[in-house]
Structure 1
């Protein structure tokens, strides 16, 4: 639940080409990754299509069916209207990007049983989250003058329940989402969501630090950062609201329930690292993901993709085995939440395969860099 419009397509070509080549003798140093991304004097490569065509991006299957909320298109149009109302759309080109990305459909696939009010709140939230996450962290410089004010403002909305004296981009929209969501959830239930969002904003700092290091942290530390910077946990933590109602705190915090949540988070985050790989390699400031960390350890790009895919499939199998063991003894609310986690894992994959063009090859160079948009906002 991550180069610039001034950069040529040849830049992206060289990045992909050199990652595919595997080790270059620079060891685990980030200098190797920087060289792969920035070497602008190498002209002996094929086109982006030639290089990307050789990279096999796997599909992920699930032992449970797809589902989709019948109000998907209504939620989609509502989310676009929400973004326009709060000034989240800087120009017509960006609006076209949002239209082809279909965040409302993501909400509909992940929460197929949500009532219309809850579905619209979550669709608006997805719209807001992807926009601010791209503009605050992923598709901009690694760190800038606005990085800390932007992220702390998001935390302050949760702490003070109001906008600050000098609201940043997206802050009023965030207040609106939180206000409406609190009407749908109990205080304790909303705080589960709020905790996940505070962790998103806080661990963004760890993600930034990782990109300022000479070498990425190892896989275990990357996983810690990733499961929180993804924003997946807040989404999983409201899945029960769209099913049989809120899971009791003692059930939600049970170690077995938290293991299920961890498996679901890993499935979404790690599969996204595979599916967004080409886009993230072109981002200006945030480009480490699980695949690239494995590349930096010496694997080729394809070997790294295949390894991450195998780990995703293992997480799916572990979730299903554990879930099927828990469900016969679980309360209706816990069973609903477990089913909601399944909806999230499958719904995200169905969105990638059937709906969105967020990671489409045709838009890699244009969509991967939002620095000019931020500069003129």
Structure 2
């Protein structure tokens, strides 16, 4: 049911063009993805819409070389207005879909979460217009700037924010802004994005995209693809252990009652994302 409703929504908003694109969208099973990463959500369709929108935008700017001038890469806050304010007039299907989703997305968000989500979404879309994101030199970027870019371009912060739409997992500002909590989110971001890099490598190489952790390590070290892939996997494992250590630290002592359901939600997101990436036909085998 969710998959059908999702495809109908994407076609109505003109996010999909051509029979091949529609087929690829349906095959990706974004509704299933949402059920893996937000298993307790009572309104699963809106989460599926958000995930589908992120991947459609990613394909638009990564694969199709959409121009950096005009469109959502100049910011999206006008399409995510405050309560009671109308959205700006959409200029393309991506902005139209964003404005269409926003009333339902924000309905369950406390003010602080809504503002955090708006900021993270704007930061995400602007990442596609950076010089590093648009560089097409035939070389992968250096490791440190790549990691900074990936933390923005992966949109993980927006997805983690949505965990807090469930009241039990909502973190008030003093908790959400704590040093360990921000470190936890950053570790989760790296685990999710770097795992995506490992599993999407073949797809990205096919489209000439070298903004990928494996490609970055290969260019930096002179390793072959397989050896660079193994180093990337080790980095994912190290960050996963850091995430677990921070989780234990946050939950010890007199912790905010919302921390346990929030951290559970992040753990489910990491596991569910990995499961979907491993099973989705979006991703092919890594090049030899």
Same fold (TM over 0.5): yes
Following superposition, the deviation at residue 213 of structure 1 comes to 5.4
Match of 1:174 among 98, 123, 137: 98
| Equivalent position of 1:44 in the other structure | none
Per-residue deviation, residues 313-336 of structure 1 (Å, max 9, x unmatched): 111111112212321332221211
Q: Which moved further from structure 2: 105-114 or 200-209?
A: 200-209
Are the structure 2 counterparts of residues 163 and 196 from structure 1 closer, same or farther at C-alpha, using a change threshold of 3 Å? same
CA distance in 2, matches of 1:267, 1:236: 13
Match of 2:63 among 122, 133, 139: 139
Q: Which runs of 5+ in 2 are unaligned?
A: none
Q: Does the CA contact (< 8 Å) of 2:199 and 2:278 recur in 1?
A: no
Larger Rg: 1
| Equivalent position of 1:246 in the other structure | 170
Q: Which runs of 5+ in 1 are unaligned?
A: 1-73, 365-377
Are the structure 2 counterparts of residues 260 and 207 from structure 1 closer, same or farther at C-alpha, using a change threshold of 3 Å? farther
| Equivalent position of 1:92 in the other structure | 19
CA distance in 1, matches of 2:200, 2:228: 14
Are the structure 2 counterparts of residues 261 and 165 from structure 1 closer, same or farther at C-alpha, using a change threshold of 3 Å? closer
Matches within 5 A, 1:1-377: 74-115=1-42, 117=43, 119-135=44-60, 137-141=61-65, 144=67, 147-152=69-74, 154-158=76-80, 162-165=86-89, 167-206=91-130, 208=132, 211-212=135-136, 215-242=139-166, 244-284=168-208, 286-297=209-220, 298-328=222-252, 329-354=254-279, 356-360=280-284
**Partner SS, residue 203 of structure 2:** helix
Following superposition, the deviation at residue 229 of structure 1 comes to 0.5
CA distance in 2, matches of 1:301, 1:173: 38
Higher relative contact order (CA 8 A, sep 6+): 1
Are the structure 2 counterparts of residues 311 and 207 from structure 1 closer, same or farther at C-alpha, using a change threshold of 3 Å? farther
| Equivalent position of 1:49 in the other structure | none
Following superposition, the deviation at residue 348 of structure 1 comes to 0.2
Following superposition, the deviation at residue 352 of structure 1 comes to 1.7
Following superposition, the deviation at residue 169 of structure 1 comes to 2.2
CA distance in 2, matches of 1:174, 1:226: 22
Q: Does the CA contact (< 8 Å) of 2:81 and 2:87 recur in 1?
A: no
Are the structure 2 counterparts of residues 199 and 291 from structure 1 closer, same or farther at C-alpha, using a change threshold of 3 Å? same
Q: Does the CA contact (< 8 Å) of 1:201 and 1:229 recur in 2?
A: yes
Following superposition, the deviation at residue 158 of structure 1 comes to 2.9
Q: Does the CA contact (< 8 Å) of 1:240 and 1:333 recur in 2?
A: no
CA distance in 2, matches of 1:102, 1:189: 28
Q: Does the CA contact (< 8 Å) of 1:153 and 1:167 recur in 2?
A: no
CA distance in 2, matches of 1:166, 1:178: 13
CA distance in 1, matches of 2:131, 2:190: 17
CA distance in 1, matches of 2:173, 2:49: 27
Following superposition, the deviation at residue 207 of structure 1 comes to 5.6
Q: CA RMSD in A?
A: 2.3
Aligned length: 283
Alignment TM-score, normalising by the size of structure 1: 0.70
